[in-house]
């Protein structure tokens, strides 16, 4: 286990994702990375910005760093407004690739939210009494 990591679980969480190789249609090996969890992506973004948990909390206008720690530990999902603010921080810091990954999370969450709203709307129509 690398120095500075207190547990094997923490080391696994922070380690660079393993690469898996697949053969493309043209017979050329291509590296593919496992997708990061939202918690791991958030942690990686904070580290790329060079911020402590307290500094990240202040940058996102959050009262304390407890939420940051919970988000990075995966105990709570990162809030939507925090993802949007983080994307802007990353772009201003020149971390375009990470900002694009964060933008993907924001878009996925918006699609999920729209899907839930549509489902609720359709259920409401199916349950609504028919006017005669």
> In CATH, what number is assigned to the domain containing residue 109?
1.10.260.40
**pTM for this predicted structure:** 0.60
Same domain, 107 and 50: yes
Give me the tens of pLDDT residue by residue for the chain, a chain 132 residues long: 445 545 656 555 555 444 444 445 555 545 455 567 889 999 999 999 999 999 999 999 998 899 999 999 989 999 889 999 999 999 999 999 989 989 988 888 888 766 666 666 566 666 555 565
Same domain, 52 and 117: yes
Tell me, yes or no, whether 54 lies in a domain. yes
Q: How far apart are CA 52 and CA 67, in angstroms?
A: 13
Same domain, 53 and 6: no
Range of the domain at 52: 35-127
Directed axis angle between helix 38-49 and helix 96-127, to 10°? 150
Give the total number of structural domains in the chain: 2
Same domain, 15 and 65: no
């Amino acid at each position: 286990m690398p120095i500075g990591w207190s547990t094997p679980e923490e080391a696994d969480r922070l380690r660079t994702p393993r690469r898996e190789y697949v053969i493309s249609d043209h017979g050329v090996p291509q590296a593919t990375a496992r997708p990061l969890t939202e918690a791991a992506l958030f942690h990686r973004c904070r580290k790329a910005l060079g911020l402590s948990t307290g500094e990240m909390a202040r940058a996102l206008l959050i009262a304390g760093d407890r939420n940051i720690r919970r988000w990075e530990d995966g105990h709570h999902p990162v809030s939507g407004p925090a993802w949007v603010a983080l994307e802007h921080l990353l772009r201003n810091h020149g971390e375009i690739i990470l900002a694009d990954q964060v933008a993907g999370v924001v878009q996925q969450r918006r699609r999920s939210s729209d899907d839930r709203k549509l489902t609720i709307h359709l259920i409401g129509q199916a349950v609504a009494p028919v006017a005669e």
